[in-house]
C-alpha cells in the first residue's frame, strides 16, 4: 500500500482516481472547498497560496504525488492567461522541485492539445509540439519544467471521459444528459481524438508508478474517432436518439480558443513499457454504462457541498 497525494481531487480525473485507488492505497486529496465527507482523507488548501506545496507535502508525507490540478477550460485560459500560467506551469514546477527534495515520485497530468493537429496520423512522444492557445502553451511549459527538474518524473498526456462531481466535466456527460433531456445537439466531425474512460486512466497511472516508469507518455484510448462519432457511440450505448446529434465543423463553433483538428496520440511506447495492451474504447464505454446503472454518478456527487 502506497500513500498517494492527489491534487485537484475534485476534478474529473481526481475524484475517479481517488475512487479507483482508495481500497488498495492510502489516499489523501487536496481540495479547496468542494468536497464534504468523501471516503478518503482531505487536506483543505489553495495550492496557489505561498508555501502551499511544501505544506501539503510535509503534512501528507506521501510516497507518490499525482498532480491533477489545472485550469483546463480552454476559453478561461484565453481570458486569464496569468492564472493559466500559475496553475498549469508554475505550480507543477514547484511540485516537481518539492517532490525531488523529499524523494517523492511525481506524476504530472498534461494534455493531447500540445500539438497543432496538422500531422496525418498519430503523434508520438518524439513529435515536436506546437501548441495553438494559452491552455496548451502553459501545459507544454509545465511538462518541460517538470521533466527539467527531474527526468525520473512522469508526464502523462491524456484525454478522458467519465462521470464528474457536477455532471458537466466530460464530453460523454454532455452528450448523455442533453440526449436524455431530448435536446438536439451537435458534434464536431473535424476534431479527431482518442478518448479513454477516466477509470482506465486512473488504473494505468497507478501501474506506471508501480513499474517505476519515467519520462513522457501518451495515455489515451486505443481507438481514434471524431467527437461527432463519439457522441453517436454514447447515444447507442444508452439507447438514446443519435439522430438528435447533428454533424458540425469546429470552424463554425465560435469558440474563443483555437482547437487542433487532429488529437490522435500513439500509445505504443506506454503499451510496450507496461507490457500490456491498453483497453479498447468499447470496453470503457460499457463500463461507463454499467457505472450509470449502478448509481455511480450519484455516489460521487454526494461528496460535494
pLDDT tens, position by position, 121-139:
999 999 999 999 999 999 9
What pLDDT is attached to residue 211? 96
Residue 104 pLDDT more than 70?
A: yes
What band does 115 get if pLDDT is binned at 50, 70 and 90?
A: very high
pLDDT at 305: 64
Q: How much is the average pLDDT of 102-126?
A: 96
Average pLDDT of the chain to the nearest whole number: 94
* Domain at 3-301, CATH from 3.40.50.450, 1.10.10.10, 3.40.50.970, 3.40.50.720: 3.40.50.720
**Cα–Cα distance measured from residue 139 to residue 131, given in angstroms and rounded to the nearest whole number:** 9
Residue 286 has pLDDT above 70, yes or no: yes
Indicate the Cα dihedral angle 52, 57, 58, 62, nearest 10°. 160
Share of the chain above pLDDT 90, in %: 89
Does the pLDDT value for residue 264 go beyond 80? yes
- Residue 42, pLDDT > 70, answer yes
- In this structure, the chain runs to a length of 305
Q: Quick one: pLDDT at residue 154?
A: 98
Residue 76 has pLDDT above 70, yes or no: yes
The pTM assigned to this predicted structure is 0.94
Amino acid at each position: 500500500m502506497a500513500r498517494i497525494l492527489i491534487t485537484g481531487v475534485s476534478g474529473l480525473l481526481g475524484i475517479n482516481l481517488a475512487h479507483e485507488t482508495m481500497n488498495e492505497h492510502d489516499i489523501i486529496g487536496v481540495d479547496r472547498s468542494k468536497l464534504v465527507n468523501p471516503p478518503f482523507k482531505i487536506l483543505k488548501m489553495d495550492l496557489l497560496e505561498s508555501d502551499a506545496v511544501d505544506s501539503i507535502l510535509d503534512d501528507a508525507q506521501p510516497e507518490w504525488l499525482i498532480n491533477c490540478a489545472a485550469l483546463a477550460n480552454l476559453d478561461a485560459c484565453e481570458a486569464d492567461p496569468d492564472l493559466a500560467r500559475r496553475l498549469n506551469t508554475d505550480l507543477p514546477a514547484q511540485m516537481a522541485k518539492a517532490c525531488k527534495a523529499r524523494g517523492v515520485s511525481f506524476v504530472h497530468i498534461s494534455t493531447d492539445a500540445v500539438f497543432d493537429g496538422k500531422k496525418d496520423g498519430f503523434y508520438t512522444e518524439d513529435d515536436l509540439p506546437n501548441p495553438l492557445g494559452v491552455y496548451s502553451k502553459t501545459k507544454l511549459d509545465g511538462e518541460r519544467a517538470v521533466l527539467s527538474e527531474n527526468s525520473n518524473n512522469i508526464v502523462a498526456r491524456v484525454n478522458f471521459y467519465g462521470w464528474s462531481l457536477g455532471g458537466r466535466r466530460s464530453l460523454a456527460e454532455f452528450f448523455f444528459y442533453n440526449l436524455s433531456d431530448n435536446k438536439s445537439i451537435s458534434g464536431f466531425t473535424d476534431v479527431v481524438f482518442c478518448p479513454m474512460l477516466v477509470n482506465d486512466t486512473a488504473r494505468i497511472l497507478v501501474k506506471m508508478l508501480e513499474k517505476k516508469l519515467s519520462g513522457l507518455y501518451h495515455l489515451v484510448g486505443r481507438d481514434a474517432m471524431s467527437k461527432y462519432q463519439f457522441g453517436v457511440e454514447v447515444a447507442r450505448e444508452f439507447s438514446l436518439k443519435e439522430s438528435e446529434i447533428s454533424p458540425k465543423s469546429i470552424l463554425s463553433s465560435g469558440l474563443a480558443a483555437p482547437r487542433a483538428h487532429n488529437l490522435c496520440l500513439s500509445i505504443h511506447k506506454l503499451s510496450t513499457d507496461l507490457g500490456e495492451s491498453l483497453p479498447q474504447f468499447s470496453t470503457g464505454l460499457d463500463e461507463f454504462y454499467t457505472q450509470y446503472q449502478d448509481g455511480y454518478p450519484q455516489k460521487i456527487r454526494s461528496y460535494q457541498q
